[in-house]
């Protein structure tokens, strides 16, 4: 090792983790996705006595409607409802959620 070179240089920059966004374009659209997802799960279980265990193959399709799992759908619902109303503010490595400030349109 050369003199004056550190074995492990200190990292001064840190990249932020990618944000997970499960929100939909609108609340009615998100609720429709939830109705489809929950309908598929409930329907696949309810139809087992009538049509046999093959109906359980419809349950994984609910994961597409939920964009993951029912919890992901709930997080997306919260994101969809709060879109534009809340904003994340980070100062000195501490992040908080605060009410969004209305943007003033410039007067012409």
Q: Is position 33 within any domain?
A: yes
Q: Is position 70 within any domain?
A: yes
Q: Is position 5 within any domain?
A: no
Question: Across the chain, which distance is largest between two alpha carbons, in Å?
Answer: 78
Q: Is position 18 within any domain?
A: no
* pLDDT at residue 12, as a whole number: 45
Q: Is position 48 within any domain?
A: yes
Both tokens of 67, joined, read 């964009």
pLDDT digits (tens, 9 = 90+) for 4-61: 555 544 444 455 555 667 788 888 999 999 999 999 999 999 999 999 999 999 989 9
* pLDDT at residue 43, as a whole number: 93
Q: Is the pLDDT of residue 81 over 80?
A: yes
Domain containing residue 86: 27-99
Of 83 and 72, the one with more pLDDT = 72
Positive or negative torsion for Cα 41, 46, 48, 50: negative
* pLDDT at residue 87, as a whole number: 74
* pLDDT at residue 95, as a whole number: 86
- Total structural domains in the chain? 1
d(CA 70, CA 67) in angstroms, rounded, equals 8
Of 31 and 67, the one with more pLDDT = 31
Q: Is position 108 within any domain?
A: no
């Amino acid at each position: 090792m050369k003199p004056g070179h550190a074995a492990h240089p200190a990292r001064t920059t840190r990249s932020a983790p990618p944000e997970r966004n499960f929100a939909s374009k609108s609340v009615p659209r998100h609720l429709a996705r939830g109705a489809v997802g929950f309908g598929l799960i409930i329907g696949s279980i309810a139809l087992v006595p009538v049509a046999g265990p093959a109906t359980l193959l419809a349950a994984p399709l609910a994961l597409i409607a939920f964009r993951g799992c029912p919890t992901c759908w709930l997080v997306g619902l919260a994101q969809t409802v709060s879109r534009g109303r809340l904003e994340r503010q980070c100062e000195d490595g501490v992040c908080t959620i605060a009410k969004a400030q209305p943007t003033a349109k410039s007067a012409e």
